């Protein structure tokens, strides 16, 4: 058995991937890429209750993907690019490992 200890950035990336695993949360992120939006505007196109949307926003916020802010009676959300950059950095590192392994497999299959 192999023990694997996640470092801080891998753990953070895991939270981001978990948050983005849900299609509703991905739709919210896709909307927020165009700019900040009030929660009500984010909820309008979704076929669910406002409390359900709030739960999705909570997951995204806890993963660091979005930041919410309340001004007066309006709660707005915006993308937090750092979390997405951390996940992208992790994927990039993994891509290097995967490509190396595929190159080794290709060499093996070619008999070199």
Mean pLDDT computed over every residue of the chain: 87
Question: How distant, in Å, are the alpha carbons of 46, 63, 87, 99, 109 from that of 11?
Answer: 29, 10, 10, 23, 35
User: Is pLDDT larger for residue 68 or for residue 2?
Assistant: 68
**Res 56 pLDDT > 50:** yes
CB of 68 closer than 8 Å to CB of 56: no
- Domains along the sequence of the chain with CATH: 13-110 (1.10.10.10)
- The pLDDT score that the predictor gives to residue 8 is 40
- The pLDDT score that the predictor gives to residue 96 is 85
| % the chain with pLDDT above 70 | 89
**Res 53 pLDDT > 90:** yes
Reported as a pLDDT band with limits 50, 70 and 90, residue 2 is very low
Q: At what angle do helices 8-20 and 50-62 cross, to 10 degrees?
A: 160
Q: What is the pLDDT of residues 75-108, one digit of tens each?
A: 999 999 998 898 888 888 888 888 888 888 888 8
- The pLDDT score that the predictor gives to residue 10 is 46
In this prediction the pTM is 0.75
């Amino acid at each position: 058995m192999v023990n694997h200890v996640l470092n801080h950035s891998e753990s953070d990336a895991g939270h981001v991937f978990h948050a983005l695993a849900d299609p509703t949360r991905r739709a919210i992120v896709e909307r927020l890429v165009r700019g900040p939006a009030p929660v009500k505007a984010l909820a309008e196109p979704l076929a669910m209750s406002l409390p359900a949307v709030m739960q999705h926003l909570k997951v995204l916020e806890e993963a660091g993907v979005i930041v919410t802010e309340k001004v007066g009676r309006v709660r707005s959300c915006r993308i937090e690019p750092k979390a997405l950059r951390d996940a992208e950095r992790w994927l990039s590192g993994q891509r290097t490992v995967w490509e190396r392994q595929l190159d080794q497999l290709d060499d093996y299959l070619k008999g070199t």
